Amino acid sequence: MKNNNFVKYKDLLSIKKINEKTNKEKFVYLPIKDNFVVGIYQADRNMLDYGKKIAVRQRVYEKLKKVSVKLKQYNENYKLIVVFGFRDMKLQEKYFYEIYDKVKNNFNDKMEMYEYIHEKIAVPEVAGHPTGGAVDIAIYDEKEKKIIDFGSKILDWDTIKSYYYCEDISKEAINNRKLLRKIMLEENFAPYDGEWWHFSYGDREWAFYYNKSEALYKQVNSDQVFKK
């Protein structure tokens, strides 16, 4: 297996600035019923907390729309599936501290422990999903009525087959990963090597990947997103 170059917690700490102007960008819900644009696959029970709606930043939505158009050009049966977009900071913290509580006694060095946890769930202060810039996605084949082969199930962290460069998967799965990554990078999303399904735009991970000194979006709580 090739060396997976995971972005580390300390890398993300190096991005200290957030652009105040772009951070004002609004959130939009992905259109659940719009077959043409973005679909939803309910893989996570916590999505139900948000009324089965997935929110992302406006520009992220525009980009996903372009990606889904490209996907249709590639194969008319393909549809972009978004499983996760915005995640409340409180939920990010809950996930983080679940692991933290399990492993805290195994480490003397706090940084070392944070890096260990970060590989599984992002440290809240640098996490992408609570900014509305990160998405977990896959490709759904409408004719076959299933997600195409990516070598592992989306959001399955229990196998190293979630690593982008894992070679212990079929040729077809490797090609499908490449396709997904190619069309997402063409729209300026940043990939994450630890999860083939995770991409982001505007968060710290994106800024680090593209060598920017500042990120576009900051983490927010759901009451700021889901205004009545």
Please tell me whether residue 87 binds Zn ion under the rule CB under 5 A.
no
CA distance 10 to 110: 12
Residue 88 or 136: the one with the smaller Cβ distance to Zn ion is 136
Q: In the block, which residue shows the tokens 């957030």?
A: 18
Please tell me whether residue 136 binds Zn ion under the rule CB under 5 A.
yes
The conformation of residue 37, written as its DSSP 8-state character, comes to S
H or E stretch covering 117: helix 110-118
11 to 40: interface string for Zn ion, x by CB under 5 A: ------------------------------
Count interface residues toward Zn ion (CB under 5 A): 2
The conformation of residue 26, written as its DSSP 8-state character, comes to P
Please tell me whether residue 198 binds Zn ion under the rule CB under 5 A.
yes
CB of 136 to Zn ion, least distance (A): 4
CB of 168 to Zn ion, least distance (A): 22
Nearest residue to Zn ion on Cβ basis: 198
Q: In the block, which residue shows the tokens 């480490």?
A: 107
The amino acid at residue 126 is V
Q: Which stretch binds Zn ion (CB under 5 A): 94-102, 128-136, 175-183, 202-210?
A: 128-136
H or E stretch covering 60: helix 58-74
Q: Which stretch binds Zn ion (CB under 5 A): 40-48, 60-68, 161-169, 198-206?
A: 198-206
CB of 108 to Zn ion, least distance (A): 30
Least Cα distance to 210 among 180, 196, 190, 192 occurs for 190
Is 155 exposed, middle or buried (CB count within 10 Å of its CB: 0-12, 13-18, 19+)?
middle
Residue 151 or 191: the one with the smaller Cβ distance to Zn ion is 191
Applying CB under 5 A, the residues found at the interface with Zn ion are 136, 198
